Amino acid sequence: MDIARTPSTPDGNPQLADAAPEPKEPPLIRREDYRPFPWLVPEIALDFDLGLEATKVTATLTVARNARADTSQVIRLNGDGLQPLSVAVDGELVNDWTMDGGDLMLPLPGEAHEVAIVTEIDPSANSQLMGLYASNGMLCTQCEAEGFRRITFFPDRPDVLSIYRVRMEGPKAQFPILLSNGNKIAEGEGEGGRHWAEWHDPWPKPSYLFALVAGDLVARSDSFTTMSGREVALNVWVRAEDLPRTGHAMESLKKSMKWDEEVFGREYDLDLFNIVAVGDFNMGAMENKGLNVFNTKYVLADPETATDGDFDAIEGVIAHEYFHNWSGNRVTCRDWFQLSLKEGFTVLRDQLFSQDMQGEAVKRIEDVRVLRSVQFPEDSGPLAHPIRPDSFREISNFYTATIYNKGAEVIRMMRTMAGPAAFRQGTDLYFERHDGEAATCEDFVRAMEDGAGLDLTKFRLWYSQAGTPKVSADLSHEGEVATLTLRQQVPPTPGQPAKHPMPVPLKLALFDRETGTHRGEQLVMLDGAEKTIAFEGFAQPPVLSINRSFSAPVSIERHVPREDLVFLAARDDDAFARSEAMQELVVGHLVAAAGEGLDENERSEGRAAIREALTAILVDPGLDDLMRGELMVLPGETYLAEQMLIADPGRIHAERESLKAWLAGELGRELRDIHARASSVPYSLDRAARGARKVKTLALSLLAAGDPERTADLAAGQYDAADNMTDRQGALMVLAGFPSAARTDRLIDFYRRYRENPLVIDKWFSLQAMSLHPDAIEHVKALRQHEDFTLRNPNRVRALYMAFAGNPHAFHAASGEGYRMIADMILELDPINSQTAARFVSPLGRWRRMEPGRAALMRGELERIAAATGLSRDTREQVTRSLG
């Protein structure tokens, strides 16, 4: 399942509603308390009589005692808001069952039984978008993590693996397409304009991977021949009007299938692979076996409506969900504590795929930027947790950047230590050992030890300890010896006040400052609290390039001369390290300026160094524009705040904008030259054209800070001349920050041009919510009342409010109005879609890092949310933990 590129409980359904009483705090579930389920369910047959307002579900379970579990005379079948219409055991109706909360408790005296349960649900009332729900006249499901229990009673846990047979019947005119997991084995016509289809999935799977889709859909169809010569039918199902925008998704799927065979040796295992695009979806996509359900955002694209970033995201998410067929489906999780087993590993796989498709250097920088902007703050805040948690109350709250992105980095470190070939041996062994099983993170680590020849005894700490390690690097020089001293400290996190040092693999190189060359990259293991390494043969002090390619997810603290950072920003041959030096140069200057402040001489020297480094980047003929664009990106205000013990967002914003304006004045000619050169490059999806579009808008955004009036004309011209969404959106992003007629005219034009396209109108909402316009808060208030805004569509909510929460200039308004807006929205959204609401708590949870005035306002809004009656368990847990 993909969330990072975004999940659910009361909805008005008589069977699925949570009524007004305050929900009890859910019990604390501990990893150490895991016990195998007492009953096996080798087969399940599901029969659906479909309707938007009433769907009857008959579930027939074949159950047998589990010899590896403690004996129980009762089977617990999880349910959420369901009431059984009938229960039968071995063909006889029974009434000796009881309810325990939402669960059905059924006595079973024998060794094996057949259990049949009939339920009825109302998909149209399911605003939580978990279980079976209606979306624009179609039916679809989302079952991860615990949505299957909203469809029927079942042991809804990932270690109960079953072979599924599914029969669906409904009105053909309303539901002409009937899809489920696996292969379609039969279909036919019924009476009264009805029809039916039967599906069989031969591979045992947990209930969270069940899927059903019924609706009026059309498909882009193709095929793929696997490495063993089997032909697989491929379909991307969408509404008819969206079919022309599915070509990129199909090509991404075929590339993913081929790449997974070549790089990981994984071949697809069914005759059919279906993707369905759904407009109402909590997450990015879901890897249901053979029937991936996607948010339309990650399927639909053409140059007129999708940016280059959208094309990349579609390719990456399609790959992520396809790769889950092995890392998540064929080998699944024993329990939800092992979530990073499938998600961290699969994120790494999709990152490596995207590196091969898009270029390693730029992709690595982008992935690290996401990690630092989302996961690092999570790791240093009240919601910090290890990638394999010890306990949880609401599993939905653990679909986090730590599980996904840090989990990927932990496995990437194993790959770095082993090398690609040995890493492949380890993954091959993992798949061989655990195919068809529900495995654990420990199973993966053991396979890497045995297959890749690694000793990961100490490395296991990465699974159990939260927090981002801080590594100080001090380089001294005497005679012809350079001495590097590394020290590690893992900061305390909630529930883990004292930490052990963790193994940290650091790639490094020492540059000769005269020749600009080095003797080769080395991998150094910091396997304790401190390590000293001597390097001989340096007549002059070398320049240290460290954590190259971001070989470890740590924070490097080093005290190096400013001229060394300028040197690395201009000359380092590792793309990430070069970008890092540029970022470090700017971060050091802005943090000092926004913190204790700089005198005029310090400010002048700092700016001059940044100008020197940026000039070298702008004119370097050896850089392609995609990489040049990465090096032009200034650190964001949220990231800058994370580098300070106590942050004042107002000062950070003022200093960053002041630096941008100064750079625009100093480098205006170079920036305008880049814009003009890039504007002459015709549209295509090749690397050069994508790079040109990237630097064009980055140049525009820098120029906007220095000469707003002239830049507004330039941006308006870019908007008017645009023949693609990347250029049009980039121009509108800059214009949205100007209080000018050009802004108003282009926003109106954009809306009129795309008003029938929900995904593009999402962009229209976001561009205004994240703008630097002085009235951004008032604009968001007005957009909340817009006829196209709805709280019932997660994409639209995120487009407006997540964009606003990610706009430090407006969100952190000194009045606290931005905080109130987010809190009001959480309280309004929570009864409709609690999982989406809960995800908005985190921005308010950073109050401890803010200056006292803002901190008090943020904490006050959290306390107001906490005091609300009827708050969902999802949101309440996030608020409680954020308050501490």
The answer to whether 321 is a known catalytic residue is: yes
The catalytic residue among 287, 315, 321, 378 is 321
What mean pLDDT is predicted for residues 829-849? 97
**Range 822-835 average pLDDT:** 98
pLDDT mean over 354-359: 97
* pLDDT given for residue 11 in this prediction: 29
Where residue 23 falls among pLDDT bands split at 50, 70, 90? low
602's tokens: 């310090």
Short-list 512, 513, 501, 498, CA closest to 552 = 501
Residues 367 and 485 both lie in one domain = no
When pLDDT is cut at 50, 70 and 90, the band that residue 22 belongs to is: low
198 and 95 belong to one structural domain: yes
Alpha-carbon gap, residue 532 to 544, rounded angstroms: 14
Rounded-to-5 percentages of helix, strand, coil across the chain: 45, 20, 35
- Which pTM was predicted? 0.96
Q: Cα separation of 792 and 799, whole Å?
A: 13
Residues 140 and 59 in one domain: yes
Mean pLDDT of 624-630: 97
Res 812 pLDDT > 70:
yes
SS3 813: coil
- Is 484 in the same domain as 623? no
Q: Establish if 455 belongs to a structural domain.
A: yes
Within this chain, do residues 575 and 621 fall inside the same structural domain, yes or no? yes
pLDDT cut 70: percent of the chain above it = 98
Calculate mean pLDDT across residues 186-202. Answer: 98
Residues spanned by the domain of 95: 29-216
The span from the CA of 83 to the CA of 73, in Å, is 22
Q: Within a domain: residue 127? A: yes
C-alpha pair distances (Å), 625 with each of 189, 585, 622, 666, 681:
57, 21, 10, 21, 12
In this prediction, residue 441 carries a pLDDT of 98
Q: Is residue 488 domain-shared with residue 376, that is, in the same domain? A: no
The whole-angstrom separation of Cα 430 and Cα 447 is 5
- Beta strand 481-489 with 504-511: parallel, antiparallel or unpaired? unpaired
The rounded distance, in Å, linking the Cα atoms of 810 and 816 is 10
**Span 756-774, pLDDT tens digits:** 999 999 999 999 999 999 9
What's the confidence (pLDDT) of residue 7?
Answer: 31
3 state DSSP class of 443: helix
Q: Is the pLDDT of residue 583 over 50?
A: yes
* Chain centre to alpha carbon of residue 144: 15
Sheet holding 194-205, edge to edge: 92-93, 86-89, 112-121, 55-65, 39-49, 162-171, 194-205, 183-189
pLDDT level of residue 144 (50, 70, 90 thresholds): very high
Q: Residue 170 belongs to what H/E stretch? A: strand 162-171
49 with 140, same domain: the answer is yes
Q: Which of 829, 853, 850, 849 is nearest to 841 (CA)?
A: 829
Measured in degrees and rounded to the nearest 5, phi and psi for residue 746 equal -75, -35
Which of 23-32, 189-198, 423-432, 609-618 comes out lowest in average pLDDT?
A: 23-32
Query: Is the same domain home to 451 and 510?
Result: no
Cβ partners under 8 Å of residue 697, min gap 6 = 718, 726, 727, 730, 731, 733, 734
User: What sign for the dihedral angle of Cα 722, 725, 727, 728?
Assistant: positive
Total domains, the chain: 5
Please give the structure tokens belonging to residue 855: 């901190």
Position 628 in a domain: yes
Mean pLDDT calculated for residue range 729-754: 97
Q: In which residue are the tokens 């009332």 written? A: 125
What CATH number does the domain containing 535 carry?
A: 2.60.40.1840
pLDDT band at 25 (very low <50, low <70, confident <90, very high): confident
What percent of the chain is modeled with pLDDT above 90? 97
Domain boundary residue, one of 646, 679, 707:
646
CA dist., res. 585 & res. 595, Å (int): 16
Do 45 and 148 lie in a common domain?
yes
Q: Are residues 460 and 476 in the same domain?
A: no
Query: Which residue in this structure is represented by tokens 């830049």?
Result: 711
Instruction: Write the CA distances from 524 to 261, 360, 486, 539, integer angstroms.
Output: 32, 22, 10, 22
Using CA atoms, how far apart are residues 44 and 156, in angstroms rounded to an integer? 13
| Number of Cα atoms under 13 Å in the Cβ half of residue 451 | 23
Give the model confidence (pLDDT) of 266-285 as tens digits: 999 999 999 999 999 999 99
| Res 700 pLDDT > 50 | yes
Q: What is the CATH number of the domain that holds 416?
A: 1.10.390.10
- Check: CB of residue 705 under 8 Å from CB of residue 734: no
Query: Which tens digit of pLDDT belongs to each residue from 641-667?
Result: 999 999 999 999 999 999 999 999 999
Pairing of strands 481-489, 555-558: unpaired
Residue 246 belongs to a domain: no
For 472-517, give the DSSP string.
Answer: EEEEEEETTEEEEEEEEE---BTTB-S-----EEEEEEEE-TTT--
**Cβ pair 648, 664 in contact under 8 A:** no
Query: According to the model, what pLDDT value does residue 475 have?
Result: 97
What count of other Cβ atoms lies within 10 Å of the Cβ of residue 561? 11
Residues 708-719 pLDDT 10s: 999 999 999 999
Length of the chain: 884
What b/e sequence results for 494-528 when a residue is b if at least 16 CB atoms lie within 10 Å of its CB, and e otherwise? eebeebebbbbbbbbbbbeeeeeebeebeebebee
Same-domain pairing of 611 and 573: yes
- Average pLDDT over the chain reads 96
Indicate whether 12 pLDDT > 60. Answer: no
Specify whether 35 is located in the same domain as 175. Answer: yes
CB atoms within 10 A of CB 239: 18
Place 534 in a pLDDT band, splitting at 50, 70 and 90.
very high
Q: Is the pLDDT of residue 17 over 50?
A: no
**401-438 CB burial, b ≥16 within 10 A, e <16:** bbbbbbbbbbbbbbbbbbeeebbbbbbbbbbebbeeeb
What contacts 263, CB < 8 A, 6 or more positions away?
A: 352, 353, 356, 424
Across the range 101-120, mean pLDDT stands at 98
* Digit-coded pLDDT (tens) for 847-856: 999 999 999 9
Parallel, antiparallel or unpaired: strands 39-49 and 162-171: parallel
Neighbours of 657 (CB within 10 A): 16
Contacts of residue 479, defined as CB under 8 A and 6 or more positions apart, other chains included, come to none
Looking at 552, 567, 597, the residue that finishes a domain is: 552
Q: Is the pLDDT of residue 143 over 70?
A: yes
Looking at the DSSP assignment, which residues form a beta bridge with residue 61?
A: 44, 115
Confidence at residue 218, expressed as pLDDT on a 0 to 100 scale = 98
On the question of pLDDT at 252 being above 70, the answer is yes
The CA-CA-CA angle for residues 705, 708, 713, to 5°, reads 130
506 falls within a domain? yes
Given pLDDT bands bounded at 50, 70 and 90, which one contains residue 14? very low
Q: Is residue 438 part of a domain?
A: yes
Q: What is the CATH number of the domain that holds 779?
A: 1.25.50.10
- Angle (CA) 689-690-691 rounded to 5° is 90
The string of pLDDT tens digits covering residues 358-410 is 999 999 999 999 999 999 999 999 999 999 999 999 999 999 999 999 999 99
Band of pLDDT at residue 201, cut at 50, 70 and 90: very high
pLDDT by residue (tens digit) across 48-70? 999 999 999 999 999 999 999 99
pLDDT band of 127, cuts 50, 70, 90: very high
Residue 207: its pLDDT value, please?
98
866 is written with which tokens?
């906490």
Q: Beta strand pairing status for 103-107 and 98-100?
A: antiparallel
Half-sphere exposure for 800 (CA within 13 Å, toward CB)? 27
551-569 average pLDDT score? 96
**Which helix (DSSP H) or strand (DSSP E) does residue 865 occupy?**
helix 852-866
Amino acid at 439: A
Q: Which pLDDT score is estimated for 486?
A: 98
pLDDT confidence of residue 13: 32
- Is 672 part of any domain? no
Q: 227-247: per-residue pLDDT in tens? A: 999 999 999 999 999 999 999
Q: What pLDDT sits at residue 3?
A: 76
Q: Which DSSP string corresponds to 538-562?
A: -SSPPEEEESGGG-SS-EEEE---H
For residue 63, CA distances in Å to 109, 222, 453 come to 12, 39, 41
Euclidean distance between CA atoms 288 and 143, whole angstroms:
9
Residue that is last in its domain, among 464, 489, 520: 464
CATH number (domain holding residue 71): 2.60.40.1730
Q: Are 574 and 534 in contact (CB under 8 A)?
A: no
Unique residue bearing structure tokens 């201009």: 570
In whole angstroms, what separates CA 152 from the centre of its chain? Answer: 29
610 neighbors 586 (Cβ within 8 angstroms):
yes
From the CB of residue 557, how many other CB atoms can be counted at a distance below 10 Å? 12
Residue 578 lies in a domain: yes
